[in-house]
Amino acid sequence: MSTFYLTTFIAATILAVIYTFIWQRRFDTNITFCFFMVPFINLAYYLMYTVKNADTVIFALKITYLGGVFLTWFMMLCVLNLCKIKAGNTFRVATFLANVLLYLSVLSIGIYPIFYKGLRIRKAGKTWEILKEYSFMHTAFYVVIALELLVSFGSLIYSRVRKKDVSRAVLDLLFIPLVACFIGYIMNHVVFRKIDVMPLMYVVAESVYIMIVRRMVLYEVSDMVIETMVEAGDTGFINVGFDHAYLGSNETAKKIIPGLSALAVDERIKRGGLFDDSILKWIDHFEDDTHTDRDYYSRGDTDGDGSDEIYNVAVSYLYDGTRKRGYQIFLADDTQNQKYIRLIDQYNSELEEEVAAKTESIINMQNKMVMGMATMVEGRDNSTGGHIRRTSEVVRILIEEMKKDATLGLTAKFCEDLINAAPMHDLGKIAVDDDILKKPGRYTPEEYDIMKTHAAKGAEIVHEILKDIDDGEFSLLAENVAHYHHERWDGNGYPRRLKGADIPLEARIMAIADVYDALVSKRVYKGKMSFADADRIIKENMGTQFDPGLYRYYAAARPLLEEYYSRMDDDEAGNKQAADEY
């Protein structure tokens, strides 16, 4: 016997722990009280037959009656709540006081003959034998329990027949705990005499309530969203389970799709019916490609103007926490937008061509203006001609190698913008005096400080040139290239001594291109350096002057860079020979 009670206590405790683990704020409070009480009640049953003295047996017996008095009451309130039947405060208070009065009579056991006329407890081997003689309050106890069970069964039957907004699956599950308790009381007084089966019935009830709360989460999520949509009033909302069970919708959705009004909560939406070209089709499209989550629903002329109503249909998953439990379907009136779209489509092609032509014209004009200024600056510098064109090509070659590495996440726009911005990197030199800019030898410290101002001045000039264009990304990138291409990875560069990744990526790339061209190109104050020597210098300065993370892309691009500069040398030699012959 004690093994039976110990087993039911352990089972009740495990189920209570499971309930605690899955508990959510929206769970019915009455179910929570049931899970809180059952382990203690089942423990009392176990102690009642295993303790060492009769007084403790009586105490444990009183605890067991908590289940008989209050669990049935909590079950009744749970049924009323889940059936959406409003129980007034008077009813709740009256039934609560009736149960309190009953339990006060239970507490008189062993003291007054109110609940039991007589009680004898004697040792029977390793357990106790309890002999009871019932009094009038015990009869009242069964009357109250019977009335509460009757209210519960009546509410479930009424809801099953008349209410469509209550889940049929939940209603069916709610019958089981009530039937289990009813059977338990009957079996205790008709079939079994020496063992009380109520602890087992409580465990059955707990198991079913876990199934109910897992199911109810779907409807609670649906209800919260539906309430919001009802307040808005202009968007239809439908919830459907993965098994195509209808979980709920708002009135707007029922007006858009009249067939929804005939569906009961938990009723399966079957194929070959009213919803093949609507709900089921939208779900199928969503499952085929979850990235394509939109459809359109056309409804016939309802206002007599000869046009259909068109609704934008959005489908997404219905979540319980992080777990997918079904589908959410939103229907928004898109009729006016569709009319505008049809009208716009008539002119769209022509407009796109016109915009494209104007955009191209603006870009060309902008590029010509920038190149003109850059060329003017280059003409004042001591570097040989072509630095602008060559550094732009070096940037392009480096970018092509970097684009092969998907982990960098470089967008096509970033790559194109950087190539177009490269010619602007030295625009600030226009503000440097010719005496310094054209000096053939080394700068004095004072002259070098003046020369370094070209980076910040260049950023200001680029900002003024591009401030009125719509492309803010390009404008910022071009400013960064001009401003920071002389910053160093170790923080010893200028003008702001930025360090490491604080230097914008576009400026780090430009720095390599700028220095590489300076090394392998002829200047009035130096000759061109061999590719091997230039490569050695670039490599040695990785991690100090240059971003070491860019070395792998520079190394991969090196053959193309050398091929490009060799070709430039050949072209220059050919032009010189032609000029000499002429």
Cα 252 to Cα 257: distance, rounded to the nearest angstrom: 9
Cα 301 to Cα 511: distance, rounded to the nearest angstrom: 65
Selected from 1.10.3210.10, 2.60.40.420, 2.40.10.220, 2.60.120.590, the CATH number assigned to the domain covering 367-581 reads 1.10.3210.10
CB atoms inside a 10 Å sphere around CB 62? 18
Contacts of 363 (CB under 8 A, 6+ apart): none
Cα 84 to Cα 219: distance, rounded to the nearest angstrom: 12
Question: In this predicted structure, what is the pLDDT of residue 502?
Answer: 96
Cα 370 to Cα 430: distance, rounded to the nearest angstrom: 13
Sequence spans of domains, the chain: 2-219, 233-333, 367-581
DSSP calls for 292-309: --EEEEEE--SSSSS--E
Contacts of 562 (CB under 8 A, 6+ apart): 531
- Which pair of tokens denotes residue 35? 């899970």
Cα 271 to Cα 163: distance, rounded to the nearest angstrom: 24
Contact indicator for 508, 539 with CB cutoff of 8 Å: no
Per DSSP, the chain holds a count of helices (H) and strands (E) of 20, 7
Cα 474 to Cα 421: distance, rounded to the nearest angstrom: 8
- Which pair of tokens denotes residue 124? 């029977």
Cα 89 to Cα 92: distance, rounded to the nearest angstrom: 5
- Which pair of tokens denotes residue 481? 């290239």
Residue 551: which of 540, 559, 561, 560 has the closest Cα?
540
Backbone angles phi, psi at 496, to 5 degrees: -115, 5
Helix (H) or strand (E) holding 129, with range, is strand 127-134
This prediction has a pTM of 0.45
Cα 552 to Cα 164: distance, rounded to the nearest angstrom: 67
Cα 348 to Cα 340: distance, rounded to the nearest angstrom: 12
Question: In this predicted structure, what is the pLDDT of residue 582?
Answer: 42
Residue 423: which of 374, 360, 380, 378 has the closest Cα?
374
Backbone angles phi, psi at 546, to 5 degrees: -115, 160
CATH class assigned to 233-333: alpha beta
Contact indicator for 455, 494 with CB cutoff of 8 Å: yes
Question: In this predicted structure, what is the pLDDT of residue 222?
Answer: 54
CATH class assigned to 2-219: mainly alpha
Contact indicator for 103, 63 with CB cutoff of 8 Å: no
Cα 582 to Cα 578: distance, rounded to the nearest angstrom: 6
Contact indicator for 124, 48 with CB cutoff of 8 Å: no
Residue 149: which of 79, 82, 246 has the closest Cα?
79
DSSP calls for 454-523: HHHHHHHHHHHHHTTSS-HHHHHHHHHHHHHTT--TTS--SSS---GGGS-HHHHHHHHHHHHHHHHS-B
Q: What is the mean pLDDT of each run of 10 residues along the chain (582 residues)?
A: 86 92 81 89 86 84 86 90 87 92 89 86 74 85 90 91 82 88 77 74 90 73 53 75 87 86 86 87 84 71 62 84 82 78 68 68 64 63 68 94 92 92 88 80 86 92 83 90 95 94 95 93 76 94 95 95 86 53 44
Backbone angles phi, psi at 447, to 5 degrees: -65, -40
Contact indicator for 374, 461 with CB cutoff of 8 Å: no
The strand order across the sheet containing 235-241 reads 246-249, 235-241, 323-333, 309-320, 294-299
Map tokens 């004690």 to a residue.
2
